[in-house]
A and B are shown apart, each in its own frame.
Chain A
Amino acid sequence: MSKKIFLVDDSATMLSTLKTSLMMNSFEVDTACDGVDALTKLKAGSFKPDLIITDVNMPNMDGLELVKNLRSLPAFRFMPILIFTTESQAAKRDEGKKLGATGWLVKPTSAPTLVGIIKEVLPGA
Protein backbone atom coordinates (compact mmCIF):
# COMPACT_ATOMS: atom_id res chain seq x y z
CA MET A 1 0.00 0.00 0.00
CA SER A 2 1.52 3.32 -1.04
CA LYS A 3 2.41 5.85 1.57
CA LYS A 4 0.57 9.17 1.70
CA ILE A 5 2.31 12.51 1.78
CA PHE A 6 0.75 15.90 2.43
CA LEU A 7 2.59 18.87 0.87
CA VAL A 8 2.24 22.47 2.05
CA ASP A 9 3.76 25.36 0.05
CA ASP A 10 2.56 28.75 -1.16
CA SER A 11 4.23 28.23 -4.55
CA ALA A 12 1.96 26.45 -7.01
CA THR A 13 4.93 25.46 -9.15
CA MET A 14 6.72 23.89 -6.21
CA LEU A 15 3.62 21.96 -5.23
CA SER A 16 3.09 20.74 -8.77
CA THR A 17 6.66 19.60 -9.42
CA LEU A 18 7.05 18.00 -6.01
CA LYS A 19 3.70 16.27 -6.29
CA THR A 20 4.61 14.89 -9.69
CA SER A 21 8.02 13.70 -8.48
CA LEU A 22 6.51 11.94 -5.49
CA MET A 23 3.70 10.39 -7.49
CA MET A 24 6.28 9.02 -9.93
CA ASN A 25 7.84 7.34 -6.89
CA SER A 26 4.53 5.70 -6.00
CA PHE A 27 3.42 8.02 -3.24
CA GLU A 28 -0.11 9.35 -2.90
CA VAL A 29 -0.04 13.09 -2.56
CA ASP A 30 -2.36 15.86 -1.47
CA THR A 31 -1.49 19.54 -1.18
CA ALA A 32 -2.30 22.82 0.54
CA CYS A 33 -1.24 26.38 -0.27
CA ASP A 34 -0.57 27.67 3.28
CA GLY A 35 -0.84 26.75 6.93
CA VAL A 36 -4.50 27.65 7.28
CA ASP A 37 -5.47 25.63 4.21
CA ALA A 38 -3.37 22.71 5.46
CA LEU A 39 -4.87 22.73 8.92
CA THR A 40 -8.39 22.84 7.52
CA LYS A 41 -7.81 19.92 5.14
CA LEU A 42 -5.99 17.81 7.71
CA LYS A 43 -8.62 18.36 10.38
CA ALA A 44 -11.33 17.40 7.86
CA GLY A 45 -9.68 13.99 7.73
CA SER A 46 -10.47 13.10 4.13
CA PHE A 47 -6.78 12.53 3.44
CA LYS A 48 -4.85 10.78 6.19
CA PRO A 49 -1.16 11.28 5.46
CA ASP A 50 1.79 9.26 6.72
CA LEU A 51 4.09 12.27 6.36
CA ILE A 52 3.69 16.05 6.11
CA ILE A 53 6.19 18.21 4.23
CA THR A 54 5.81 21.95 4.72
CA ASP A 55 7.49 25.20 3.69
CA VAL A 56 8.17 27.88 6.34
CA ASN A 57 7.59 31.29 4.77
CA MET A 58 3.93 31.26 3.77
CA PRO A 59 1.10 33.78 4.10
CA ASN A 60 -1.75 33.47 6.64
CA MET A 61 0.06 30.83 8.72
CA ASP A 62 3.73 29.97 8.36
CA GLY A 63 5.19 26.48 8.58
CA LEU A 64 6.39 26.75 12.16
CA GLU A 65 2.97 27.85 13.35
CA LEU A 66 1.48 24.92 11.42
CA VAL A 67 3.84 22.48 13.14
CA LYS A 68 2.92 23.93 16.52
CA ASN A 69 -0.82 23.60 15.79
CA LEU A 70 -0.50 20.07 14.44
CA ARG A 71 1.50 18.86 17.43
CA SER A 72 -1.33 19.99 19.69
CA LEU A 73 -3.74 17.65 17.89
CA PRO A 74 -3.72 14.01 19.04
CA ALA A 75 -3.90 12.64 15.48
CA PHE A 76 -0.71 14.48 14.48
CA ARG A 77 1.28 14.42 17.69
CA PHE A 78 3.68 11.75 16.48
CA MET A 79 3.34 12.13 12.72
CA PRO A 80 6.62 12.88 10.91
CA ILE A 81 6.71 16.49 9.73
CA LEU A 82 9.55 17.63 7.50
CA ILE A 83 10.32 21.32 6.99
CA PHE A 84 11.33 21.98 3.36
CA THR A 85 12.38 25.61 2.93
CA THR A 86 14.87 28.15 1.63
CA GLU A 87 15.08 29.45 5.19
CA SER A 88 18.49 28.70 6.70
CA GLN A 89 18.51 30.87 9.82
CA ALA A 90 19.76 28.88 12.78
CA ALA A 91 17.23 30.40 15.16
CA LYS A 92 14.33 29.31 12.96
CA ARG A 93 15.80 25.84 12.58
CA ASP A 94 16.15 25.49 16.34
CA GLU A 95 12.62 26.75 16.79
CA GLY A 96 11.38 24.13 14.33
CA LYS A 97 13.16 21.43 16.25
CA LYS A 98 11.74 22.74 19.52
CA LEU A 99 8.20 22.75 18.10
CA GLY A 100 8.53 19.12 17.12
CA ALA A 101 9.55 19.03 13.47
CA THR A 102 11.13 15.76 12.38
CA GLY A 103 13.71 17.29 10.10
CA TRP A 104 14.87 20.39 8.24
CA LEU A 105 15.65 20.36 4.51
CA VAL A 106 17.04 23.45 2.78
CA LYS A 107 16.01 24.15 -0.82
CA PRO A 108 17.07 23.35 -3.43
CA THR A 109 17.10 19.60 -2.86
CA SER A 110 16.82 17.17 -5.72
CA ALA A 111 13.83 14.89 -5.96
CA PRO A 112 15.91 11.71 -5.56
CA THR A 113 17.48 13.15 -2.39
CA LEU A 114 14.08 14.13 -1.07
CA VAL A 115 12.70 10.67 -1.79
CA GLY A 116 15.70 9.18 -0.01
CA ILE A 117 14.97 11.27 3.10
CA ILE A 118 11.31 10.31 2.96
CA LYS A 119 12.19 6.61 2.84
CA GLU A 120 14.46 7.12 5.83
CA VAL A 121 11.67 8.81 7.78
CA LEU A 122 8.98 6.38 6.62
CA PRO A 123 10.24 2.84 6.95
CA GLY A 124 8.53 0.62 4.44
CA ALA A 125 8.02 3.41 1.93
Chain B
Amino acid sequence: MYTEKKVNFQSLQSYVLSLGVMLVLSALAFKLAQKLPEGSVLPYATGSIVFVGLAVYHLLFTHSINKHIDEAIQTQQVWIKSRQLNDENYRRLQVFLGSIPELNRLLEAHLAFINESTETASLAIISKLFLMEERVAQILKELEGQQLHSQSASLSYESFVEMRHTIIDILSHTQFQDISRQQIEVVTKGLALCAQYSDEVAHVLDANNPEPLATPNLQSESMKALRESYTMEAQRIVHFNATGDDSALDAVGRPTIELF
Protein backbone atom coordinates (compact mmCIF):
# COMPACT_ATOMS: atom_id res chain seq x y z
CA MET B 1 0.00 0.00 0.00
CA TYR B 2 2.66 2.45 0.99
CA THR B 3 4.89 1.35 -1.93
CA GLU B 4 2.19 2.19 -4.47
CA LYS B 5 1.57 5.54 -2.87
CA LYS B 6 5.26 6.18 -2.98
CA VAL B 7 5.40 5.78 -6.74
CA ASN B 8 2.24 7.73 -7.48
CA PHE B 9 2.91 10.52 -5.07
CA GLN B 10 6.45 10.90 -6.25
CA SER B 11 5.47 11.00 -9.91
CA LEU B 12 2.55 13.36 -9.59
CA GLN B 13 4.25 15.86 -7.37
CA SER B 14 7.43 15.84 -9.40
CA TYR B 15 5.76 16.24 -12.77
CA VAL B 16 3.41 19.00 -11.74
CA LEU B 17 6.05 21.01 -9.99
CA SER B 18 8.65 20.51 -12.66
CA LEU B 19 6.26 21.40 -15.43
CA GLY B 20 5.10 24.51 -13.68
CA VAL B 21 8.54 25.80 -12.97
CA MET B 22 9.72 24.99 -16.48
CA LEU B 23 6.89 26.94 -18.01
CA VAL B 24 7.53 29.99 -15.89
CA LEU B 25 11.25 29.98 -16.44
CA SER B 26 10.84 29.33 -20.14
CA ALA B 27 8.64 32.38 -20.41
CA LEU B 28 11.15 34.48 -18.53
CA ALA B 29 14.04 33.18 -20.61
CA PHE B 30 12.15 33.98 -23.84
CA LYS B 31 11.48 37.54 -22.72
CA LEU B 32 15.07 37.95 -21.67
CA ALA B 33 16.33 36.54 -24.92
CA GLN B 34 14.28 39.08 -26.84
CA LYS B 35 15.98 41.93 -25.00
CA LEU B 36 19.54 40.63 -25.27
CA PRO B 37 21.81 41.11 -28.30
CA GLU B 38 21.89 38.33 -30.84
CA GLY B 39 24.29 35.46 -30.03
CA SER B 40 24.22 36.08 -26.30
CA VAL B 41 24.67 32.88 -24.21
CA LEU B 42 22.97 34.28 -21.13
CA PRO B 43 19.53 32.71 -21.78
CA TYR B 44 21.15 29.33 -22.37
CA ALA B 45 23.24 29.64 -19.20
CA THR B 46 20.23 30.73 -17.20
CA GLY B 47 18.15 27.88 -18.54
CA SER B 48 20.85 25.37 -17.72
CA ILE B 49 21.22 26.67 -14.19
CA VAL B 50 17.47 26.49 -13.75
CA PHE B 51 17.26 22.94 -15.00
CA VAL B 52 20.15 21.84 -12.75
CA GLY B 53 18.51 23.57 -9.83
CA LEU B 54 15.27 21.85 -10.58
CA ALA B 55 16.98 18.48 -10.77
CA VAL B 56 18.70 19.01 -7.41
CA TYR B 57 15.46 20.18 -5.86
CA HIS B 58 13.70 17.18 -7.31
CA LEU B 59 16.28 14.82 -5.86
CA LEU B 60 16.27 16.42 -2.40
CA PHE B 61 12.51 16.58 -2.18
CA THR B 62 12.08 13.04 -3.38
CA HIS B 63 14.69 11.83 -0.92
CA SER B 64 12.90 13.55 1.96
CA ILE B 65 9.52 12.18 0.94
CA ASN B 66 10.95 8.70 0.51
CA LYS B 67 12.50 8.90 3.92
CA HIS B 68 9.14 9.76 5.51
CA ILE B 69 7.44 7.02 3.57
CA ASP B 70 10.06 4.49 4.69
CA GLU B 71 9.47 5.48 8.29
CA ALA B 72 5.74 5.16 7.82
CA ILE B 73 6.22 1.69 6.30
CA GLN B 74 8.38 0.67 9.27
CA THR B 75 5.80 2.02 11.73
CA GLN B 76 3.09 0.12 9.92
CA GLN B 77 5.10 -3.09 10.11
CA VAL B 78 5.70 -2.58 13.82
CA TRP B 79 2.01 -1.91 14.32
CA ILE B 80 1.06 -5.03 12.39
CA LYS B 81 3.37 -7.10 14.56
CA SER B 82 2.09 -5.56 17.78
CA ARG B 83 -1.45 -6.10 16.61
CA GLN B 84 -0.66 -9.77 16.07
CA LEU B 85 0.79 -9.95 19.59
CA ASN B 86 -2.22 -8.12 20.98
CA ASP B 87 -4.56 -10.52 19.27
CA GLU B 88 -2.71 -13.46 20.80
CA ASN B 89 -2.67 -11.81 24.23
CA TYR B 90 -6.33 -10.95 23.87
CA ARG B 91 -7.15 -14.54 22.99
CA ARG B 92 -5.26 -15.81 26.04
CA LEU B 93 -6.84 -13.14 28.22
CA GLN B 94 -10.29 -14.22 27.06
CA VAL B 95 -9.49 -17.79 28.11
CA PHE B 96 -8.30 -16.51 31.49
CA LEU B 97 -11.36 -14.28 31.93
CA GLY B 98 -13.62 -17.16 31.09
CA SER B 99 -12.06 -19.32 33.77
CA ILE B 100 -12.42 -16.80 36.64
CA PRO B 101 -16.22 -16.88 36.95
CA GLU B 102 -16.09 -20.67 36.81
CA LEU B 103 -13.42 -20.76 39.53
CA ASN B 104 -15.51 -18.39 41.60
CA ARG B 105 -18.56 -20.56 41.13
CA LEU B 106 -16.64 -23.67 42.14
CA LEU B 107 -15.26 -21.96 45.24
CA GLU B 108 -18.69 -20.79 46.30
CA ALA B 109 -20.18 -24.21 45.69
CA HIS B 110 -17.47 -25.86 47.76
CA LEU B 111 -17.85 -23.24 50.46
CA ALA B 112 -21.58 -23.90 50.66
CA PHE B 113 -20.84 -27.62 50.84
CA ILE B 114 -18.23 -27.11 53.57
CA ASN B 115 -20.61 -24.88 55.52
CA GLU B 116 -23.41 -27.36 55.31
CA SER B 117 -21.23 -30.37 56.09
CA THR B 118 -19.53 -28.70 59.02
CA GLU B 119 -22.76 -27.46 60.45
CA THR B 120 -24.41 -30.84 60.06
CA ALA B 121 -21.42 -32.65 61.57
CA SER B 122 -21.10 -30.27 64.52
CA LEU B 123 -24.78 -30.37 65.33
CA ALA B 124 -24.84 -34.14 64.97
CA ILE B 125 -21.86 -34.54 67.32
CA ILE B 126 -23.40 -32.29 69.95
CA SER B 127 -26.80 -33.90 69.74
CA LYS B 128 -25.36 -37.43 69.96
CA LEU B 129 -23.25 -36.44 72.95
CA PHE B 130 -26.34 -35.21 74.75
CA LEU B 131 -28.26 -38.36 73.83
CA MET B 132 -25.42 -40.52 75.09
CA GLU B 133 -25.28 -38.56 78.33
CA GLU B 134 -29.00 -38.96 78.82
CA ARG B 135 -28.74 -42.67 78.16
CA VAL B 136 -25.86 -43.08 80.60
CA ALA B 137 -27.75 -41.07 83.23
CA GLN B 138 -30.80 -43.26 82.67
CA ILE B 139 -28.74 -46.42 83.07
CA LEU B 140 -27.23 -45.08 86.25
CA LYS B 141 -30.68 -44.29 87.59
CA GLU B 142 -31.88 -47.79 86.80
CA LEU B 143 -28.86 -49.22 88.55
CA GLU B 144 -29.60 -47.09 91.60
CA GLY B 145 -33.22 -48.21 91.50
CA GLN B 146 -32.12 -51.79 91.47
CA GLN B 147 -29.58 -51.05 94.17
CA LEU B 148 -26.89 -52.09 91.78
CA HIS B 149 -25.25 -48.69 91.86
CA SER B 150 -21.50 -48.90 92.06
CA GLN B 151 -18.68 -46.48 92.37
CA SER B 152 -17.24 -47.57 89.03
CA ALA B 153 -20.53 -46.76 87.29
CA SER B 154 -20.51 -43.26 88.81
CA LEU B 155 -16.91 -42.76 87.79
CA SER B 156 -17.74 -43.90 84.25
CA TYR B 157 -20.59 -41.41 84.09
CA GLU B 158 -18.39 -38.57 85.36
CA SER B 159 -15.72 -39.47 82.82
CA PHE B 160 -18.28 -39.40 80.08
CA VAL B 161 -19.53 -35.97 81.14
CA GLU B 162 -15.98 -34.68 81.24
CA MET B 163 -15.31 -36.10 77.79
CA ARG B 164 -18.42 -34.40 76.46
CA HIS B 165 -17.36 -31.07 77.92
CA THR B 166 -13.95 -31.42 76.33
CA ILE B 167 -15.31 -32.25 72.89
CA ILE B 168 -17.71 -29.34 72.91
CA ASP B 169 -14.99 -27.01 74.19
CA ILE B 170 -12.83 -28.12 71.27
CA LEU B 171 -15.63 -27.46 68.81
CA SER B 172 -16.25 -24.00 70.18
CA HIS B 173 -12.54 -23.24 70.53
CA THR B 174 -11.62 -23.88 66.94
CA GLN B 175 -14.55 -21.95 65.43
CA PHE B 176 -12.83 -22.81 62.19
CA GLN B 177 -15.97 -22.89 60.11
CA ASP B 178 -16.70 -19.20 60.61
CA ILE B 179 -13.09 -18.21 59.96
CA SER B 180 -12.72 -20.48 56.91
CA ARG B 181 -15.90 -19.11 55.44
CA GLN B 182 -14.63 -15.55 55.75
CA GLN B 183 -11.24 -16.46 54.33
CA ILE B 184 -12.82 -18.04 51.27
CA GLU B 185 -15.13 -15.06 50.85
CA VAL B 186 -12.09 -12.78 50.66
CA VAL B 187 -10.54 -15.04 48.02
CA THR B 188 -13.68 -14.99 45.88
CA LYS B 189 -13.89 -11.21 46.24
CA GLY B 190 -10.25 -10.93 45.17
CA LEU B 191 -10.95 -13.09 42.12
CA ALA B 192 -13.92 -10.92 41.21
CA LEU B 193 -11.74 -7.80 41.37
CA CYS B 194 -9.12 -9.57 39.26
CA ALA B 195 -11.79 -10.34 36.66
CA GLN B 196 -12.91 -6.73 36.61
CA TYR B 197 -9.35 -5.51 36.12
CA SER B 198 -8.68 -8.03 33.36
CA ASP B 199 -11.91 -7.04 31.63
CA GLU B 200 -10.74 -3.40 31.49
CA VAL B 201 -7.44 -4.50 29.94
CA ALA B 202 -9.28 -6.65 27.41
CA HIS B 203 -11.41 -3.67 26.33
CA VAL B 204 -8.31 -1.62 25.67
CA LEU B 205 -6.80 -4.38 23.52
CA ASP B 206 -10.08 -4.94 21.72
CA ALA B 207 -10.19 -1.30 20.63
CA ASN B 208 -6.68 -1.65 19.13
CA ASN B 209 -5.81 1.34 21.19
CA PRO B 210 -2.09 1.56 21.91
CA GLU B 211 -2.78 4.23 24.52
CA PRO B 212 -2.29 3.33 28.18
CA LEU B 213 -5.13 1.78 30.17
CA ALA B 214 -8.07 4.18 30.47
CA THR B 215 -8.23 3.65 34.22
CA PRO B 216 -4.58 3.56 35.27
CA ASN B 217 -5.58 3.52 38.92
CA LEU B 218 -7.79 0.47 38.50
CA GLN B 219 -5.20 -1.87 39.97
CA SER B 220 -4.63 0.30 43.04
CA GLU B 221 -8.38 0.78 43.44
CA SER B 222 -8.93 -2.97 43.25
CA MET B 223 -6.22 -3.59 45.85
CA LYS B 224 -7.74 -0.91 48.08
CA ALA B 225 -11.20 -2.48 47.78
CA LEU B 226 -9.73 -5.88 48.66
CA ARG B 227 -7.83 -4.46 51.62
CA GLU B 228 -10.95 -2.77 52.98
CA SER B 229 -12.87 -6.06 52.85
CA TYR B 230 -10.58 -7.74 55.37
CA THR B 231 -11.91 -8.48 58.86
CA MET B 232 -9.06 -10.42 60.40
CA GLU B 233 -5.58 -9.38 61.45
CA ALA B 234 -4.12 -12.44 59.71
CA GLN B 235 -5.53 -11.22 56.37
CA ARG B 236 -3.95 -7.78 56.81
CA ILE B 237 -0.59 -9.30 57.66
CA VAL B 238 -0.70 -11.44 54.50
CA HIS B 239 -1.61 -8.35 52.45
CA PHE B 240 1.32 -6.43 53.92
CA ASN B 241 3.75 -9.29 53.29
CA ALA B 242 2.60 -9.54 49.67
CA THR B 243 2.37 -5.84 48.79
CA GLY B 244 4.30 -3.90 51.41
CA ASP B 245 1.17 -1.83 52.03
CA ASP B 246 1.27 -1.12 55.74
CA SER B 247 -1.93 0.91 55.82
CA ALA B 248 -3.71 -2.38 56.44
CA LEU B 249 -1.84 -3.00 59.67
CA ASP B 250 -3.79 -0.63 61.90
CA ALA B 251 -5.06 -3.39 64.19
CA VAL B 252 -1.80 -5.24 64.72
CA GLY B 253 -0.75 -5.20 68.34
CA ARG B 254 -4.13 -4.58 69.93
CA PRO B 255 -5.29 -7.25 72.37
CA THR B 256 -7.74 -9.91 71.25
CA ILE B 257 -9.79 -9.33 74.37
CA GLU B 258 -10.55 -5.78 75.40
CA LEU B 259 -13.03 -4.66 78.03
CA PHE B 260 -13.93 -0.98 77.65
A residues in contact (CB < 8 Å) with B:
11-14, 16-18, 20-21, 24, 56-57, 85-91, 93, 97, 101-114, 117, 120-121
> Which of A17, A57, A93, A111 makes the CB contact (< 8 A) with B258?
A93
| Inter-chain contact B169/A21, CB cutoff 8 Å | yes
Shortest beta-carbon distance, B187 to chain A, in Å? Answer: 15
Alpha-carbon distance between A88 and B260 when the two chains are bound, in angstroms: 15
Q: Mark B136-152, 1 if CB is under 8 A from A, else 0.
A: 00000000000000000
Chain A residues with Cβ below 8 Å from B171 are 17
State how many residues of chain B have any CB contact under 8 Å with chain A. Answer: 32
A97 CA / B260 CA spacing, docked (Å): 7
User: How close is A46's CB to chain B, nearest CB, in angstroms?
Assistant: 24
List the 6 closest A-B pairs by CB distance, nearest first.
Answer: A103-B259, A106-B256, A17-B172, A110-B173, A108-B175, A88-B233
**Are B251's CB and A13's CB within 8 A?**
no
Which residues of chain A are within 8 angstroms of B256 by Cβ–Cβ distance? Answer: 88, 105-106, 109
Q: Considering only CB atoms, which chain A residue lies closest to B120 in the complex?
A: A13
In the complex, whether B211 has a CB less than 8 A from a CB of chain A is no
B102 within 8 A of A: no
Residue of B nearest to A21 (CB): B172
Q: Which residues of the partner chain B approach A110 to less than 8 Å between Cβ atoms?
A: 169, 172-173
The answer to the question of B12 belonging to the interface, with a C-beta cut-off of 8 Å to chain A, is: no
Asked if B251 and A93 make an inter-chain contact with CB atoms under 8 angstroms apart, the answer reads yes
Q: Which of A16, A104, A112, A114 contacts B123 (CB 8 A)?
A: A16
Bound: A88/B231 CA distance, A: 6
Q: Give which listed residue, A13, A85, A90, A117, contacts B177 with CB less than 8 A.
A: A13
Closest to B250 in A: A90
B78 at the interface (CB under 8 A from A): no
Q: Is residue B257 within 8 Å, beta carbon to beta carbon, of the partner chain?
A: yes
In Å, the complex CA distance between A56 and B182 comes to 13
Contact A104 B168 (CB under 8 A): no
The reply to whether A24 and B257 contact each other, CB–CB distance below 8 Å, is: no
Q: Are A20 and B126 closer than 8 Å at their CB atoms?
A: yes
Q: How far is the CA of A120 from the CA of B257 in the complex (A)?
A: 12
Known: A17-B172, A107-B178. A90 touches B259 (CB 8 A): no
Contact B257 A105 (CB under 8 A): yes
Q: With a CB–CB cut-off of 8 A, which chain B residues contact A90?
A: 250-251, 254
Known contacts A86-B178, A86-B182, A89-B231: does B169 contact A117 (CB below 8 Å)? no
**A103–B168 touching, CB < 8 Å:** no
Q: Which residues on B sit within 8 Å (CB–CB) of A102?
A: 259-260
Chain A nearest CB, measured from B221 CB (Å): 19
What chain B residues lie within 8 Å of A104 (beta carbons)? Answer: 257-258, 260
Q: Can you name 8 extra interface pairs (CB under 8 A) apart from A16-B123, A88-B236?
A: A11-B177, A11-B181, A13-B177, A14-B178, A21-B168, A93-B258, A97-B260, A108-B175
By the criterion CB–CB under 8 Å, are A16 and B260 in contact? Answer: no
Q: Which residues of B contact A121 (CB under 8 A)?
A: 259
Q: Considering the chains assembled together, what is the distance between the CA atoms of A16 and B172 in angstroms?
A: 9
Identify which of residues 163-206 in chain B touch chain A, using a CB-to-CB cut-off of 8 Å.
Answer: 165, 168-169, 171-179, 181-182
